[in-house]
Amino acid sequence: DGGITQSPKYLFRKEGQNVTLSCEQNLNHDAMYWYRQDPGQGLRLIYYSQIVNDFQKGDIAEGYSVSREKKESFPLTVTSAQKNPTAFYLCASSIAGEQPQHFGDGTRLSIL
Which residues of the chain form contacts with other proteins (CB under 8 A)?
4, 6, 31, 35, 40-45, 48, 50, 56, 58-59, 90, 92, 94, 96-106, 108
Q: Closer CB to other proteins, residue 19 or residue 91?
A: 91
Side chain identity at 59, as an amino acid letter?
A: D
The CB-of-65 to other proteins minimum distance in angstroms stands at: 19
In the complex with other proteins, the residue whose CB is nearer, 82 or 101, is: 101
* Contact call for residues 54 and 69 (beta carbons, < 8 A): no
